Chain A
Amino acid sequence: MIEFVQILIEGALVGLVYGLVAISFVVIYRASKIINLAQGEVVVVGAFLLWTFTEGMAGIGYPLPLWLALLLTLAGCVAFGWTIERTVFRPLIGQSAFTIFMAGVALLILLRGLAQLVWGAQSRSAPAILPEGALDLGPFLVNTRLLIGAVFTILLTQALHLFFTRSRLGLRLAAVAEDHTTAHSLGVSVRQAIAVAWIMGTVVATAAAVVLLSGSILSLEVAVIGFKALPVALLGGMESIRGAPLAGLIIGIFEALASAYLDPLTNGAASGLLPYVVMIAVLLIRPYGLFGWRKIERL
């Protein structure tokens, strides 16, 4: 029983981190209607940027204070997100879904190559931003880093929800998420909104990288997180910020259970497969996900 609950806790915490990456998919999708297949690579680049400003600078004899390193990383991913939007996806506005899909694939391969070119293929130890260790909660052990990440995800979700429903910029982005023509007619600069969304999505993805990698191994392989988080975003609903962490919980728990009880019987295949099985099962019943926007039928 204790073991079972322990598995649930771990699954839930990891799932919330998936939720964080899923939010980055959602923020970008809402404004641009693009599912960025390369989002996992964006996480990796964000992580490498952070590594550069912490370990990297320290390695060449110029250690930066952590706040400055974080600030530079933030600036780096703002520029990075803006560049992706500006150079790859903006020129494709109005093109077919297939063209945009292929551009996503190309971007994925390009970023992978660029990351390897700039930072090399070897694994490194990622900077330990968050405290490592475990918290004793009665009979259970809770990983401190994941716990902080999970709390951060929940707070960020709430903050973004308020942003999108209350602030002027957020409402602008919400209008763009609904309908570009209507947004235009209200004087919203749709192009600017899409650029802002890409920047926000990139920053959130990098925040996920911090939580996920703090004190562990950083390599190009980390990009798989993108394909772990994509079913979470689809399950929560591509338009729903608050759906993402909830779907993350569901998928994280299923994955943890599968990993504990089914993987030994399936050569480890079950835990990789199950998130997608859950996602497909739910999407068959609700194609727009748990909290996504269903097309409202007008009479």
Chain B
Amino acid sequence: MLTLANVDAVYGGVIQVLRSTNLDVREGQMVVLLGANGAGKTTTLKAISGLLHADHGAVTAGRISFAGQDITHAEPSEIVRAGMVQVLEGRRVLEHLTVYQNLMVGAHLRSDRAGVKADLERVYGYFPALPELAGRIAGYLSGGEMQMVLIGRALMARPRLLILDEPSMGLAPILTQQLFRTIGRIKRDEGLTVLLVEQNARAAISQCDYGYIMEGGRIVLHGSRAELEGNQDVQEFYLGMGGGAERVSYRDVKHYRRRKRWLG
């Protein structure tokens, strides 16, 4: 459904961040993209959604296609129209609009009023806290509430592919669990395809069908959930096995790098 073939991306004409990135998202799958801070995950997602321009970035080589269409240099509005919506990292609600208005902005390309209304009810179904909050100004919500608004807003566009950039960032573990469960449910019920970027590897891998691991702007490892869960590097580095810690320490990183070098 979504394919990146040998994509290079550059900021400011000189800083190369993505190096020949390949990625494939099949219809109906939940694909997770993991990697340390600065690995290039957000850049990958922005390249996909046509959002690099605003950061003075660009795709300089390779090809991105979505549903059989070349979208490498498409406008963000065309890409959303084609059925792909991204929830950016950093909880970008429209701060001064109400929750209801935020949700309706998600549907701004649609003229089927009845469909929009039905989808609003569906979003309220997935996030039962939202109807209560409908009239509230979105900028004053809690982090968890904002994340519901953001995912709900994306769903209002009726996407076929939903892209999420670190939705669990800054959420308490219990909220993160809830969030992933809801995302899983939405994916099943709506027949959505999902591409998810996460720091929280354990929760993400447990939900995914396929995963990619990125480092220094390259995909260094990929495989199905079972393959990733069985891989020792992934276990040590991302799943924090042994220490039980969710966050990866600097020592772990060094260890991981060393192991990686052996593995060549």
Contacts and interface: CB of A to CB of B under 8 A. Distances in A.
Interface of A: 165, 168, 171-172, 174-175, 178-182, 184-189, 239, 293, 296, 298
Contacts of A181: 51, 54, 88, 92
B134 interface: no
A242 to B, nearest CB: 13
B39 to A, nearest CB: 21
Contacts of A293: 95-96
Given A174-B101, A181-B51, A187 B92 contact: no
A213 B79 CA distance: 47
Contact of A186 (B50, B106, B111): B106
B157 interface: yes
Contacts of B91: 298
B77 A175 contact: no
Contacts of B5: none
B108 interface: yes
Given A185-B88, A187-B108, A171 B153 contact: no
Given A186-B153, A187-B80, A187-B157, A171 B101 contact: yes
5 closest A-B pairs (Cβ-Cβ)?
A187-B80, A296-B139, A178-B94, A182-B92, A184-B76
Contact of A165 (B49, B51, B101): B101
Nearest to B104: A171
Interface in B144-165: 153, 157
A225 to B, nearest CB: 28
Contacts of A168: 107-109, 111
A172 B104 CA distance: 10
Nearest to A293: B96
A180 B53 CA distance: 12
Report whether over half of chain A's contact residues are helix, strand or loop; otherwise say mixed.
helix
B150 to A, nearest CB: 10
Contacts of B86: 185
A182 B109 contact: no
12 contacts: A168-B109, A175-B94, A179-B92, A181-B51, A182-B92, A184-B51, A184-B54, A185-B76, A187-B79, A187-B85, A296-B96, A296-B140
Contact of A189 (B75, B87, B88, B101): B75
Nearest to B76: A184
Contacts of B95: 178, 293, 296
A175 B95 CA distance: 10
Interface string B44-61: 000001110010000000
Contacts of B88: 181-182, 185
Nearest to A171: B105
Given A175-B94, A239-B96, A188 B75 contact: no
B36 to A, nearest CB: 24
A180 B75 contact: no
B23 interface: no
Interface string B87-122: 110011011110001001111110100000000000
B81 interface: yes
A174 B76 contact: no
Given A185-B88, A187-B80, 18 more contacts: A168-B107, A171-B108, A175-B94, A179-B94, A180-B54, A182-B88, A182-B92, A182-B94, A184-B54, A185-B85, A185-B87, A186-B85, A186-B105, A186-B106, A186-B157, A187-B157, A188-B77, A189-B77
